[in-house]
Amino acid sequence: MIKKIFAALFLVIVLNYTVKSQNFNTAKLDSFFSALTTHNKNMGSLAISSNGIVVYQKAIGYSQVNGEAKTAATIKTKYRIGSISKMFTAVMVFQLIEEGKLSLKTTLATWYPQLPNAAKITISEMLDHRSGLHNFTNDTLYASYETKPQSEDAMISIMEKQKPDFEPDTKADYSNTNFVLLGYIVEKITGKPYNEELKKRIASKIGLTDTYYGGKINPTNNEAYSYSYQGQWKQEPETDMSIPGGAGAIVSTPTDLVKFIEALFGGKLISQNSLNQMKTMKDNYGMAMFEMPFDEKKSYAHSGAIDSFSSMLAYFPEEKLAISYISNGVVYSTDDVINAALSIYFNKPFSIPEFKTITLKTTDLDKYLGNYKSTQLPLKITVIKNNTTLIVHATGHRPMALEAVGDDKFSDAQAALTIQFDPGIGEFTVFQGGKTYLFTKIK
């Protein structure tokens, strides 16, 4: 009898949580995603989980576009998640610390004495981007090998030639180099490949059936390609996954990601003490996470970008809410998609954008074309066009298709970048990350 009463009480609690968490305007969120689809503003997948229960899932767009042949995305479509992989790597590092096989004070020189400042750089400083190690993906050389397989030795050879950006623990600056190395260190300590440790330590432990170390994209395994929009969806090249490793090589789904972050905050993967260290912010960085506020609410989050994939994962501890969005085609930014979903979920004022299209003729773009340089950045930008699409190509980077958003104004949502042209004097200004950069046409 007592067992029956307990079971009934437990069922009531679960139902109350479910009703409470589902008490938001799902029809409005559906309409928002319909607008994105109709106007070719985004392709991707969203999952929202409350109190451990998935209360909303939605997939829009396509996992594969090949001319007229298109494969519609589903909630089981798998995407490259980019730097959200760093959260998984950090969890494995803390597991090794809890097992006594590593400490936050262990130096990089234990494994890689040939790297700059290796004897002074600790595991702690690598986890919170305070090592000073230069971010190898920022170099112009990166574009020459990013689609080609690289061995650990080849990557170390690249890293050891790069001068450090600053002395360890004097500041913080985001660097993929830190987490590629941490992934290698996991392998050296365990004697097993990263993908096996990922499966054993995280995926199998908490039932992530669609999360694994990626390889060449396989559409027959329901894996999505990434696309840029240039009047139609154009498939983008693939980074070879031997390169990003522990910094960005994981494939997953939003549903698996919300399950992962709930397990992380629920004590199923590491101790509360380890989680607290991950959550501690220095210069706006934690250890593989950062704070993402929404109005008065606070979440812990990480974003990701690789090829033309863009992703976000966040957890609101007070609300016990997890949200993840992964896109394989970005015009309307991932940040804006997340903000829209949260606004609707929390019943905040939000109007579905009308997405008015600015129609340009190919001749309208001629006044912007040419080569530009800046005294602020050591790179040149070539502005070209493809029919009615304006394209900028920065030295050592992939060409970027821009969307017209106003008078002489263009943007790229994935890069969170806006360019304002002044064609009369042959200049444009780049707005990105709260900073501005002036470029002048080379005559």
Average pLDDT over residues 399-414: 86
Q: What is the pLDDT of residue 395?
A: 79
pLDDT tens digit sequence for 324-360? 999 999 999 999 999 999 999 999 999 999 887 788 9
User: Could you give the residue range(s) of every CATH 3.40.710.10 domain in the chain?
Assistant: 79-345
- pTM, full prediction: 0.85
For residue 13, is pLDDT > 50?
no
Q: What is the pLDDT of residue 16?
A: 46
Rounded to the nearest 10 degrees, how much is the dihedral formed by the CA atoms of 321, 26, 42, 319?
-10
The candidate with the shortest Cα–Cα distance to 127, out of 95, 160, 172, is 172
The superfamily CATH assigns to domain 79-345 is DD-peptidase/beta-lactamase superfamily (3.40.710.10)
Separation of alpha carbons 247 and 123, rounded Å: 14
In DSSP terms, 439 is beta-bridged to 428
User: Taking a C-beta distance cutoff of 8 angstroms, is the pair 251, 217 a contact?
Assistant: no
Single-letter amino acid, residue 161: K
Separation of alpha carbons 18 and 29, rounded Å: 18
Separation of alpha carbons 292 and 295, rounded Å: 10
Q: pLDDT exceeding 70 applies to what percent of the chain?
A: 95
User: Taking a C-beta distance cutoff of 8 angstroms, is the pair 264, 255 a contact?
Assistant: no
Residues written for the chain? 443
For residue 233, is pLDDT > 70?
yes
Q: Which residue has the higher pLDDT, 282 or 434?
A: 282
Mean pLDDT of the chain, nearest integer:
92
User: Could you give the residue range(s) of every CATH 2.40.128.50 domain in the chain?
Assistant: 362-441
pLDDT tens digit sequence for 271-280? 999 999 999 9
Non-local (6+) Cβ contacts of 241 within 8 A are: 213, 214, 215, 216, 249
Average pLDDT over residues 41-61: 97
Q: What is the pLDDT of residue 180?
A: 98
Separation of alpha carbons 63 and 153, rounded Å: 34
**3-state secondary structure labels for all residues of the chain:** CHHHHHHHHHHHHHHHHHHHHCCCCHHHHHHHHHHHHHCCCEEEEEEEEECCEEEEEEEECEEEEECCEEEECCCCCEEECHHHHHHHHHHHHHHHHHCCCCCCCCEHHHCCCCCCCCCCCEHHHHHCCCCCCCCHHHCHHHHHCCCCCCCHHHHHHHHHCCCCCCCCCCCCCCCHHHHHHHHHHHHHHHCCCHHHHHHHHHHHHHCCCCCEECCCCCHHHCECCCEEECCCEEECCCCCCCCCHHHCCEEECHHHHHHHHHHHHCCCCCCHHHHHHHHCCECCECCCCEEEEECCEEEEEEEEEECCEEEEEEEECCCCEEEEEEEEEECCCHHHHHHHHHHHHCCCCCCCCCCCCCCCCHHHHHHHCEEEECCCCCCEEEEEEECCEEEEEECCCCCEEEEEEECCEEEECCCCEEEEEECCCCEEEEEECCEEEEEEECC
Q: pLDDT exceeding 90 applies to what percent of the chain?
A: 81
For residue 9, is pLDDT > 50?
no
Q: What is the pLDDT of residue 431?
A: 86
10 Å Cβ neighbour count for 301? 23
Separation of alpha carbons 377 and 285, rounded Å: 25
Instruction: Name the CATH topology of 362-441.
Output: Lipocalin (2.40.128)
Tokens linked to 317: 């501890």
User: Taking a C-beta distance cutoff of 8 angstroms, is the pair 394, 422 a contact?
Assistant: no
| 23: confidence class by pLDDT, cuts 50, 70, 90 | confident
